């Protein structure tokens, strides 16, 4: 708790308000911040004990302000296990958010689609997750004041928030899928055989983030809603070469719809 208390204390000295909602934005999905009334920004490198983002498409700062009449805290740039961080470091900002006051966490990510109905640019509400292919951030000594030793994961994503988001999407004429997200370490994109295996195991989309953040959020009693932008298709017949540039381009195209959903969801809380 010592390091967390220092990080939280530093932030409180720079931003006195209590945020209600935390937002984590994925690759190429930073546009939501343009909709915020920004009140303060703190660069990751200025924060004691905070990791620093290294990936193109992730800028690396905490942004405080208002969205949909609520005080929100957005992470512009997240941390990934493949960058060399530990699972605990990846999820550290979620712990900080909770200790600052958030009760709800909204997450976005770019993901590879494996469901036959998915097309590039589609949105998928995450209904459940498979986290067995990456390291659990709760390994090691449990700090009881943060959460229980054996947290229940029967509802990692809030059914109530999923229901709200579906209603918003329907009202706004935004097409959304619903499905299971599987987290992998990366940084390689999956082989054809891996895509087929992950789909057989029950996953509809695959990505290199989110699952560790969600585990820690649930450990601390935060309700979570997450949305994947399908930025590439893993299961397809033709040449299957995927680049990070393509992923960012597809994410950009889907951004207005994602922004609308997140904004309206915050408004409805």
Indicate the domain borders of the chain: 2-268
CA distance 213 to 87: 9
Please list, in sequence order, all residues whose beta carbon lies within 8 angstroms of the beta carbon of residue 250, skipping any fewer than 6 positions away: 28, 110, 120, 121, 229, 230, 231, 232
Percentage of residues of the chain with pLDDT beyond 90: 80
Element of type H or E holding 206: strand 205-207
* Residue 221 Ramachandran class (φ > 0 left, ψ -120 to 50 alpha, else beta): left
At 57, the pLDDT band (50, 70, 90 cuts) reads: low
Does the domain at residues 2-268 carry the CATH identifier 3.40.50.1580? yes
Position 76 scores a pLDDT of 87
Position 70 scores a pLDDT of 96
Rounded to an integer, the average pLDDT of 24-48 is: 89
Please provide the average confidence, as pLDDT, over all residues in the chain: 92
- Are 117 and 199 spatial neighbours (Cβ–Cβ below 8 Å)? no
pLDDT tens, 119-169?
Answer: 999 999 999 999 999 999 999 999 999 999 999 999 999 999 999 999 999
Q: Is the pLDDT of residue 24 over 60?
A: yes
More confident residue, 43 or 244: 43
CA distance 219 to 98: 11
At 58, the pLDDT band (50, 70, 90 cuts) reads: low
Give bridge partners of residue 37 from the DSSP assignment. Answer: 66
């Amino acid at each position: 708790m010592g390091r967390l208390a220092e990080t939280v204390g530093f932030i409180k000295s720079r931003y006195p308000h209590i945020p209600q909602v935390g937002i984590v934005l994925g690759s190429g999905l930073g546009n939501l911040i343009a909709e915020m009334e920004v009140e303060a920004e703190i660069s990751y490198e200025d924060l004691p004990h905070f990791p620093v983002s290294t990936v193109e498409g992730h800028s690396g700062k905490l942004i405080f302000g208002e969205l949909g009449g609520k005080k929100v805290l957005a992470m512009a740039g997240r941390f990934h296990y493949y960058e060399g961080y530990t699972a605990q470091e990846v999820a550290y900002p979620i712990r900080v958010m909770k200790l600052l006051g958030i009760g709800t966490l909204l997450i976005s990510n770019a993901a590879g689609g494996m469901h036959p109905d998915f097309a590039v640019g589609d949105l998928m509400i995450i209904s459940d997750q498979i986290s067995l292919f990456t390291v659990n951030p709760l390994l090691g000594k449990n700090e009881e004041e943060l959460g229980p030793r054996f947290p229940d994961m029967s509802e990692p994503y809030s059914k109530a928030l999923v229901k709200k988001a579906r209603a918003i999407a329907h009202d706004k004429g935004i097409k959304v899928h619903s499905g299971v997200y599987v987290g992998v370490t990366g940084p390689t994109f999956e082989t054809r055989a891996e895509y087929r295996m992950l789909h057989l195991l029950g996953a509809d989309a695959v990505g290199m983030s989110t699952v560790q953040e969600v585990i820690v959020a649930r450990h601390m009693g935060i309700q979570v809603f997450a949305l994947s932008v399908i930025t590439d298709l893993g299961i397809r017949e033709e040449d299957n070469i995927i680049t990070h540039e393509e992923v960012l381009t597809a994410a950009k195209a889907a951004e207005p719809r994602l922004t609308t959903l997140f904004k309206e969801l915050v408004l409805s809380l």
